[in-house]
Chains A and B, each alone.
Chain A
Amino acid sequence: MVTAAAVWEALAEIPDPEIPVISLVDLGVVKDVAVDGARVRIEFTPTFMGCPALERMQACMEDAVRDLGGEAQVDVVLDDSWSTDKITPAGREKLREAGFAPPAPRNAGRTTLVQLQAKAFRCPYCGSTETRLDNIFGPTPCRSVRYCESCRQPFEQFKTI
């Protein structure tokens, strides 16, 4: 007998394909789980739309449900319900520990260049806010590149979206 709780638990074990320190549940991309007998419907919200890991995430969720003896239907929800604010507090801490600065919380307004250039971003290695924007874009769509003036370490900063 598959239960929603068991599915959530299994999904919480699936690492993000590109940043394996964080799980899909930590990332906040699982919007809903509905169980009807052995049929499991998962609502999944993509992060960045060009992220090449999205298909892998779907396949991993299907495998996890199969391991529980169920059959998954993963529905991709293309609405605006995901933002970086959906990353859980535990997920943010895991990112920081792995050297990725977690995204700043969303403000009421849009992100601006002035905000990106402000001293509000903390180095994940030494904790200093003496950091500067090196590139708005980074190695994947979700990250920018910053440089810490205190410990002289470049680091990756999650974009706020």
Chain B
Amino acid sequence: MSDRARLLLELADDELILGWRNSEWTGIAPFLEEDVAFSSIAQNEIGHARALYELAARELGTDADALAFDRTLEEYRSAPLVELRRLEWARTIARHWLYETADAVRLEALKASDDPEIAGLAAKMDREETYHRIHAEMWLDRLLAAPEGRTRLEEGLRELWPYALGVLDDELRPVFVERVRARLPFELPDVEPVPRGRHEAELEELLGEMTMVRRSAPAGARW
């Protein structure tokens, strides 16, 4: 597999798996606005995943659905950060903000890519991601504004920090670390990143649920 296809799959897998995790708030978020927000963010992320899989599929001679649903657990390239299942609000906001901050660094680099298809798609995604970042920043400020929110957010950020460090490669990670440190009123430790390529146990469960309908349909079924 080319570096280009691998990069596209990393991005697509991150967006698909995080989109799935975000959609787990549909119907049960703490209040209606956030139910709508996380459902909408999930829809955007899965839309991005589809476009990225389509670009990869053209190169790999397959289609987006096959890439999204028919690979084995080991073939997924998602970052462990997006695989974790944390249906707890402060951790959800911690991951949301860490991911969007890292993703912004990644999109800025991709927009400057020599590959016009990747640069164009990154710019298109970035238009939508702007709203995710506004939402994540708004929630970060909201939680930081009250003692309990701050305590819980800090706990969440400390737990997820090694995972967040694994989203970007060695070249882009320092930019991300600098932005996180400049924004937070407390320190996060120097730790080793949890690298991409190994998977959290929760991913297996997620894939089982996500591919259930497709696996149960007879071969050649059309949707």
Closest to B122 in A: A80
B197 interface residue, CB < 8 Å from A? no
B residues 118-141 touching A (CB-CB < 8 Å): 120-121, 123-125, 127-128, 130-131, 134-135, 137-138
Residues of B within 8 Å of A135, CB to CB, are 33, 36-37
Is A125 part of the contact surface with B, judged by Cβ < 8 Å?
no
Contact, CB under 8 Å: A136 / B44? no
Select one of A49, A110, A111, A139 contacting B51, CB under 8 A: A49
Question: Within the complex, what minimum Cβ distance (angstroms) separates B82 from chain A?
Answer: 17
Contact present for A49 and B40 (CB under 8 Å):
no
Are B134 and A79 closer than 8 Å at their CB atoms? Answer: no
Least CB distance, B44 to chain A, in whole angstroms? 5
A138 contacts B120, CB within 8 Å?
A: no
Set of chain A residues within 8 Å of B116, measured between Cβ atoms: 79
Q: Is A8 an interface residue (CB 8 A)?
A: no
Is B117's CB within 8 Å of the partner chain A? Answer: yes
Partner of A134, one of B33, B45, B51, B135: B33
Nearest chain A CB to B186 CB, angstrom units: 23
Do A49 and B134 touch (CB < 8 A)? no
On chain B, the residues within 8 Å of A110 by CB distance are: 130
- Are B134 and A112 in touch, CB under 8 angstroms? yes
A78-B43 in contact (CB<8A): no
Most B CB contacts (10 A, CB to CB) among A112, A134, A136 go to: A136
* A-B CB pair tally, cutoff 8 Å: 81
Structural contact, B44 and A48, CB atoms closer than 8 A: yes
For B96, the chain A residues whose CB sits under 8 A away are: none
Residue of A nearest to B46 (CB): A50
B contact patch SS: helix
Number of A residues, CB within 8 Å of B: 26
Q: Are A79 and B48 in contact (CB under 8 A)?
A: no
Find out whether the CB atom of A141 lies under 8 angstroms from the CB atom of B117: no
CB pair A136 B55 closer than 8 Å: no
State whether A137 and B131 are in contact (beta carbons under 8 Å apart), knowing that A79-B120, A79-B124 are contacts in the complex: yes
Are A78 and B51 interface neighbours, CB within 8 A? Answer: yes
Residue in A closest to B119 when the chains form the complex, CB atoms: A80
B41 within 8 A of A: yes
Pick 23 A–B contacts, CB within 8 A, sort by A. A48-B47, A48-B128, A49-B44, A49-B50, A49-B51, A49-B125, A50-B45, A50-B48, A78-B120, A78-B124, A79-B120, A80-B127, A82-B124, A111-B134, A135-B33, A135-B36, A136-B138, A137-B33, A137-B37, A137-B39, A141-B40, A141-B43, A141-B44
**11 more CB-based (< 8 A) A-B contacts, given A50-B43, A116-B134, A136-B138:** A48-B47, A50-B46, A50-B47, A50-B50, A78-B51, A78-B124, A80-B120, A111-B134, A113-B137, A139-B36, A161-B130
Residues of B within 8 A of A (CB): 33, 36-37, 39-41, 43-48, 50-51, 54-55, 116-117, 120-121, 123-125, 127-128, 130-131, 134-135, 137-138
Which 6 A-B pairs have CB atoms at the shortest separation, nearest pair first?
A50-B47, A49-B47, A79-B120, A80-B123, A137-B40, A161-B127
